[in-house]
A and B are shown apart, each in its own frame.
Chain A
């Protein structure tokens, strides 16, 4: 490296006195070019890691995509669990029973106002590694715990979405159903919630996009999702600093390609429903 640098830096001032003003800038540029070049040469000499960023990316693509699919799977599962429990919690917030209402409200507010990463840590360290029911024990791998940890804030947000949507319906719907002798449960499931789905869909999809992007938090607790995997790829490529930007840019691209259509679709649904009322 130093052998190559020396002639480049020393040559211009010696052979070309008239271009004096540029002399201070030009050596810097040359120096930079040489540095880049030498980096390549240095790696060429190292032998194993000669591949370009693109080649590295292509080589690890299947693994990275698989890891990303794992992120998607975690997001879908956490969303499903969060939606189911959040719906129950949201309905609980609307309950006529004061105790049910209070508990649902408290749980919702607690998990809604907690940092996701902290909830994730709690889930990782508080949940046992396996659950035993009688003689049957079910293992709880890290990714399941992470999914539960991510489902908690989703649950709280879904609870608020459900509560808000039900509240936004005119009370006349409840009264009409009541006067037609529907039970409160029938009213909720046959009349109120079906009307709410339309109102709940855009915020729910928005929440899903946020959740998907938050799945990378699971890397902090050691789940081998896309961030963890990218780190491992970098390590196995010898920790080349020039690969950092391309690989993480690829990860960003994956999330963008997945989440952006959801965001566009959400906006479309919102505008469609706002017209209909």
Chain B
């Protein structure tokens, strides 16, 4: 029963989720293979963010199944540590720890959670800082960094845990326009290295360029999906067409 790379890395089947009376996910199914880059687009309130938050169990689901490398997320006694070692997540509001420097933000979880050797964790953290092009900012506090720089630290912090799949929840939505590009570039490089990525985004040009497949969600269901070439030019559902006509 062990998971192999031939199987989907993330397998979502008929997921339902309500907040009180409001059903935000109404039977979502999705499969993500290793190394794939998936963009989820759709109007606000269509359940995109809720869906990816369910993948690492920040939100619980009421019905259906989410398998991450074969580990079922929808179980009562979930091994969250095991799940979250596999799944990294980056948030819209960065959520860096303001009382720690960039370097500490990155190396703290490997040291405290994975019990890595401190020097090894620091070496790796410095590598990641270089990777997100923030050399010289190792000892800066989040408050001293721009939004784009903070978000790149947040990406590095997540990568330090060596996840197999990365979730990006509207990571450029809170950024100044001039810093969006540097964050997207970092994600693009990550995708090109073969990292499995699931992104909720409003950056259509970026989705078109980077995504292997695009999912369009509306009111809690997946309306349609496909590779960018066919999705953007040949969307068949009227809801998708209407959405695309509004934003493109």
Interface residues in chain A, defined as those with a beta carbon under 8 Å from any beta carbon in chain B: 170, 172-173, 175-183, 186, 190-191, 194-195, 276
Contacts and interface: CB of A to CB of B under 8 A. Distances in A.
Contacts of A175: 58, 91, 95
Q: Which of A176, A177, A179, A182 has the most CB of B within 10 A?
A: A179
A181 B58 contact: no
Which 8 A-B pairs have CB atoms at the shortest separation, nearest pair first? A176-B95, A181-B84, A172-B95, A179-B89, A180-B109, A181-B113, A172-B93, A194-B99
B156 to A, nearest CB: 12
Interface string B84-118: 11011101010111110000000011001110000
B99 A179 contact: no
B58 A195 contact: no
5 contacts: A175-B95, A176-B97, A180-B161, A181-B114, A194-B99
B84 A179 contact: yes
A186 B112 contact: yes
Contact of A178 (B58, B88, B98, B158): B58
A180 B113 contact: yes
B65 interface: no
B93 A179 contact: no
Given A178-B84, A180-B84, A195 B112 contact: no
B113 A170 contact: no
A182 B97 contact: no
A173 B84 contact: no
Contact of B112 (A173, A190, A194): A190
Nearest to A197: B99
A175 B59 CA distance: 10
A175 B87 CA distance: 13
B157 A180 contact: yes
Interface in B134-161: 143, 154, 157-158, 161
Given A176-B97, A181-B81, A183-B81, 9 more contacts: A173-B97, A175-B91, A176-B96, A179-B58, A179-B88, A180-B161, A181-B84, A182-B109, A191-B97
A234 B180 CA distance: 76
B99 A181 contact: no
B131 interface: no
Nearest to B87: A179
Contacts of A195: 97-99
Contacts of A183: 81, 113
A186 to B, nearest CB: 6
B80 interface: yes
B93 A170 contact: yes
A221 B112 CA distance: 50
B196 interface: no
Nearest to B83: A181
B172 interface: no
B95 A190 contact: no
A188 to B, nearest CB: 13
Nearest to B86: A181
A172 B58 CA distance: 11
Contacts of A180: 84, 109, 113, 157-158, 161
Nearest to A195: B99
A236 B109 CA distance: 66
Given A186-B113, A190-B112, A181 B89 contact: no
Contacts of B95: 170, 172-173, 175-176
A191 B98 CA distance: 9
A182 B112 contact: yes
A176 B91 contact: yes
A195 B112 CA distance: 18
Contacts of B161: 180-181
Nearest to A196: B99
A85 to B, nearest CB: 25
B113 A182 contact: yes
B201 to A, nearest CB: 18
A194 B154 CA distance: 19
Contacts of A170: 93, 95
Nearest to B113: A181
A190 B108 contact: yes
Contacts of B98: 195
